[in-house]
Structure 1
Amino acid sequence: MSAEENFEDELSVALRRTGDGFTAGDGDGLVAGGLARGRRRVVRRRAGAVAASTVALALVGVGGAYTAGALGGGEGHASVAAAPPAVGEAPSAAPVHADALLATFRRVLPARGRLADTAARGTDDERGPTASGVYDDGRGKAAVGIGFFQATPGDKGFSECPDKALNAYDACVTKDLPGGRLMIYQGYEYPDRREDTKHWRATLLRPDGLVVDLGTWNAPAQKGAAVSRTDPPFTPAEMRRIVTHPAWAPVLEATGKPAAGKAAGGKPVAGASGSTGKSRREPVPGGFAGAAFDGAAVWPTLLSLLPRDLTVSDRGGEDGYGYAVVDDGEGRSLVQVNAQPDMRDVEDQLFPPGGYETLPDGTKVVVRQQPGEKGGEGVVMWTVDTIRPGGYRVVVSAFNTGAQHDPATRAEPALSVEQLKALATSEQWLKLVK
């Protein structure tokens, strides 16, 4: 038996084993309404949306929560979270144009099917190289797409399975390969299963930080199309072969690391060191633009601010996000927070005139109490959204369930609105910005 066949057997067993053990929650739609718009804008600002015109690749760091609406689609939908570009030496390889990249994509796909309705971007496109289309092997049309980008140095999220409290899926495994760390994910387009569209991914994080991300669905479109087949078209071993295929070498060489002070496509970044352009937004007194932000400290800070009479059964987070599942003896309750250091460019959208309370220090506060959004019976979501002068935004939500797509476990969240206000406006959040 070949090493590849051994891998497929091993992976199939592991997928079945891990799939049996997950009772996942849902990180899609981290908080209501405004957060989807805010995170969409901050993702665009940091990296630009990575997507193909036919299929929006779900380039999410699946070690954490799905980012809501990064392509500007429906509010609250999980779409694309492009990796922030690293800085380093500019690639010396010749660019791979869209038609050549698409030809390579066709070449590496299993020969039993044909690719139609295609779209592609080359390595010379500032949004990053992608290829996508509708794959038809006679068993039902399926949307497929692949993207390439540079991960932030040290970010391992692209090669780690989602936290089971944040994303509902059937199975996920990781494996170290000579060419990097591979993740195979088998989940759903909508974690609350309101549609039957499945979403399977293979993501390879290479030692040089480059990411190859393949997305497949069991429908001819990522969203809004009827399911056409039981599963997406490729087996785990086939997905592995696609993302690790040597034919991608020219694309990877040309993607490379952008030069310091330049974005992935080579255009100057406003305000970057060495850039001659003027910053897009001037700093304001007391503002947080350009400050170093310790996003990894968000979830430990959340834990430190929770009332001491709560029992924490699960916890975790990613850059800028944290969550905890707590219990006061009356049932499980999910609490989650997002911290964003500079959201001035969408402040008027998130905090429209007359729609907020202003504290003595100038912090704007909005309180929302509404039904849950992820299908759990009887679920409610209480949210406190805050923004300080200078744009530092902290949003806290609490639910009356331990996972948003599960039924309510209690009448109300474990934290009151006043407790959520105290948590969101705590001075401890200022320590994350230096």
Structure 2
Amino acid sequence: MPSEKPFEVPFEDGLGEALRHTGETFAPTDRAALVDAGLTRGRGRVARRRAAVVTGSALALAAVGIGGAYGGGLLGGGQGDGRPDETSVAAPHPTPTGATPTGTAPTGLTPDGPAPTGLTPTGPAPSADADLVGILAGLLPAGELKNPTTNTSDTSDFRSVRGVFDDGKGDAEISVGLTRADGPQADQQVACPDKVFITYDNCVESELADGSRLMVFQGYEYPDRREDTKYWRAVLHTSDGFLVDASEYNAPAQKGAKITRADPPLNPAQLKALVSSDEWRGQLNELPAAPTARPPAGGGSEAPADPEGADIRKTLTSLLPAGLRVRDEGGQEGFAYLVVDDGKGRSYLQINVQPNMGDVVGELFPGATELPDGTLLKTSKTDGEKGIDGIKMWTADTIRPDGLRVVVSAFNAADQKSPATRENPALTMKQLTAIATSEKWLTRP
């Protein structure tokens, strides 16, 4: 993200409400820029330096967006929702062959028929905003695509189209975004999210015959289910480095709209067919080539040294008090989590380990206790971050003189989105402090 990523302020305000779909779930202040850059390691550090609260929601974002590092950012959005402005298209040109104002029978999707096996060149690429609308309308089942909008001018390397689809069973927002993307960040977009962070009904990953990778996700706009808006999404990562990202809802808008139908209009097979259609190839081919990545200063690679947080998990596990059994685990660069059980109920434990954070001392550690070795320590006992009644979050936050920050939190629940499983977290504040201040973090690979 599940990703740009485990700090709440930049990820849920910035990557979105990232991957949006990444807290509320699957996107950063400038989603198009995030897509463009793939959420590089350097940007992640800058974002993390601005965060005061640790959260595991980033993992979810990295995955779906679903959040996730692109998430809803591929899709554009309405004014005032944190997504790029869109260009209104008065009428499609050419005339769509699928969803139309008059309900012409579709030539694109069939409810259960075989989906295309990938994207292949189909000739000259269309360029006008109206062509995007025509492509989407032509690929939808019989019905009407109302109030279509596009985004082709805000950024040259990102295009999107959205509208409200009416098939006679209830209005539903549907959108498709196109961009170039490759490497680990693109792979994250076709990986199902961790259920520790995101509640969903189903998610399937697959590889198509041409080597493209596909994820089809069926979940909810709000992870805490405060509203039952369903959020279904399909993302195709083509073998030649494009992302085609489609989202749909069972309401005429992503947020703030009354639910109009039990499910979004397209079933999983139709979503797969939508993102896999050859019709998008012309628009994809018009996207500018991705810039050649420059090596980081001092040589080396921008690839994360520990992309799944395995080293951090190993160290964290070695520091657990006796009597705790690990029931679940996961992580990403700089972040790891464990779900532990002492026989009295499961308890979620998360940790962030970040070097070179000395520039946030004044911002994040006012009034901190200074330990004999110069480490600054702040502890807190607060409510959980997700608004679930009864959730307790106990945190030990430390930073060493060399700028190494270690933040560890424990909860009295198996995750941050479910009811409490016990009175207090499984680890005491003293035990959390011992973990955060351990010398093992200085010798970790």
TM over 0.5: yes
Gaps of 5+ in 2: 19-26, 37-59, 74-80, 84-123
- The answer to whether the Cα contact below 8 Å between 2:393 and 2:412 also exists between their aligned partners in 1 is yes
2:255 corresponds to which of 223, 226, 248: 223
1:380 aligns with 2:392: yes
Q: Give 1:222's aligned amino acid.
A: Q
Q: CA deviation at 1:250?
A: 1.9
2:235 corresponds to which of 189, 203, 206: 203
- The C-alpha deviation readout for 1:114-153, integer Å capped at 9, x for no partner, is 131523235x815622222322223222222222334442
3-state SS in 2 of match to 1:326: strand
Q: Give 2:136's aligned amino acid.
A: F
Q: CA deviation at 1:378?
A: 1.8
Q: Distance in 1 between matches of 2:207 and 2:188?
A: 14
| Cα distance change on mapping 1:131 and 1:424 into 2, 3 Å | farther
1:133 corresponds to which of 134, 141, 163: 163
Question: Residue 76 of structure 2 aligns with which residue?
Answer: none
| Cα distance change on mapping 1:65 and 1:197 into 2, 3 Å | closer
- The answer to whether the Cα contact below 8 Å between 1:64 and 1:318 also exists between their aligned partners in 2 is no
Question: Residue 369 of structure 1 aligns with which residue?
Answer: 381
1:181 aligns with 2:193: no
Question: Residue 48 of structure 1 aligns with which residue?
Answer: 33
| Cα distance change on mapping 1:259 and 1:429 into 2, 3 Å | farther
Q: Distance in 2 between matches of 1:343 and 1:99?
A: 48
- The C-alpha deviation readout for 1:41-84, integer Å capped at 9, x for no partner, is 99669972459xxxxxxx94327974699999xxxxx999xxxx
1:213 aligns with 2:245: yes
Q: CA deviation at 1:245?
A: 0.7
Q: Distance in 2 between matches of 1:134 and 1:230?
A: 16
Q: Distance in 2 between matches of 1:428 and 1:152?
A: 35
1:243 aligns with 2:257: no
| Cα distance change on mapping 1:188 and 1:39 into 2, 3 Å | closer
Q: CA deviation at 1:391?
A: 6.5
Q: Distance in 2 between matches of 1:408 and 1:373?
A: 13
Q: CA deviation at 1:102?
A: 3.8
3-state SS in 1 of match to 2:307: helix
- The answer to whether the Cα contact below 8 Å between 1:65 and 1:166 also exists between their aligned partners in 2 is no
Q: Distance in 2 between matches of 1:375 and 1:427?
A: 34
Q: Distance in 2 between matches of 1:151 and 1:338?
A: 27
Q: CA deviation at 1:189?
A: 0.9
Q: Distance in 1 between matches of 2:69 and 2:161?
A: 22
Question: Residue 264 of structure 2 aligns with which residue?
Answer: 232
Q: CA deviation at 1:343?
A: 6.5
- The C-alpha deviation readout for 1:134-183, integer Å capped at 9, x for no partner, is 22223222222222334442553322222232321111122322242222
Q: Distance in 1 between matches of 2:176 and 2:404?
A: 34
Question: Residue 304 of structure 1 aligns with which residue?
Answer: 315
| Cα distance change on mapping 1:183 and 1:302 into 2, 3 Å | same
Gaps of 5+ in 1: 1-25, 52-58, 73-77, 81-92, 262-271, 284-288
Q: Distance in 2 between matches of 1:361 and 1:44?
A: 39
1:318 aligns with 2:332: yes
Q: Give 2:347's aligned amino acid.
A: S
Q: Give 2:135's aligned amino acid.
A: T
Which of the pair has more CA radius of gyration?
2
Question: Residue 113 of structure 1 aligns with which residue?
Answer: 144
Identical counterparts, % of pairs: 40
Q: Distance in 1 between matches of 2:217 and 2:355?
A: 31
| Cα distance change on mapping 1:186 and 1:297 into 2, 3 Å | closer
Scaled by the length of structure 2, the TM-score of the pair is 0.66
3-state SS in 2 of match to 1:405: coil
- The answer to whether the Cα contact below 8 Å between 2:148 and 2:161 also exists between their aligned partners in 1 is no
Q: How many residues align?
A: 359
What pairs up with 1:68-87 in 2 under 5 angstroms? Answer: none
- The answer to whether the Cα contact below 8 Å between 1:141 and 1:228 also exists between their aligned partners in 2 is yes
Question: Residue 178 of structure 2 aligns with which residue?
Answer: 148
- The C-alpha deviation readout for 1:310-340, integer Å capped at 9, x for no partner, is 2001112234432211012221001123445
| Cα distance change on mapping 1:353 and 1:193 into 2, 3 Å | same
3-state SS in 2 of match to 1:316: strand
| Cα distance change on mapping 1:295 and 1:127 into 2, 3 Å | farther
3-state SS in 1 of match to 2:63: coil
Q: CA deviation at 1:429?
A: 4.9
3-state SS in 2 of match to 1:129: strand
| Cα distance change on mapping 1:376 and 1:31 into 2, 3 Å | farther
- The answer to whether the Cα contact below 8 Å between 2:179 and 2:242 also exists between their aligned partners in 1 is yes
Q: Distance in 2 between matches of 1:343 and 1:361?
A: 17
Question: Residue 294 of structure 1 aligns with which residue?
Answer: 305
| Cα distance change on mapping 1:211 and 1:35 into 2, 3 Å | closer
3-state SS in 1 of match to 2:137: helix
Q: Give 1:311's aligned amino acid.
A: R
- The answer to whether the Cα contact below 8 Å between 1:67 and 1:79 also exists between their aligned partners in 2 is no
Scaled by the length of structure 1, the TM-score of the pair is 0.67
| Cα distance change on mapping 1:390 and 1:32 into 2, 3 Å | same
Question: Residue 192 of structure 1 aligns with which residue?
Answer: 224
1:403 corresponds to which of 415, 419, 425: 415
Q: Give 1:327's aligned amino acid.
A: D
